[in-house]
Amino acid sequence: MINSVFFFLIFFSLLIIINNFINLLIILENFNVLLLFYCLLNNNENTGTVFLSLLTIMTLEISFGLVVMSRMWVSSDLNYIVSL
């Protein structure tokens, strides 16, 4: 029950804040943390492998998003300087 409430809140907030890229990254990071927390609480025998693989994939996803955001920020500053 609690898991479904968390997932509903995340997807609802994702629909509301889809227009801003940094807010989208924050929502994705919250979703990643909840998924990792659920994987950690799950008591299967292969939880360690799944946890480490998800942790690696999600870290790369957020790092890629931050790189894209910083590149967009730099390019928008460059456009501002050129327009002067």
The predicted structure's pLDDT at residue 16: 67
Helices (H), the chain: 2-16, 21-41, 47-83
Instruction: Report pLDDT digits (tens) over 16-72.
Output: 666 666 677 777 777 777 777 777 777 666 667 777 777 777 778 777 877 777 777
The predicted structure's pLDDT at residue 74: 66
28, 66 contact by CB (below 8 A): no
39, 17 contact by CB (below 8 A): no
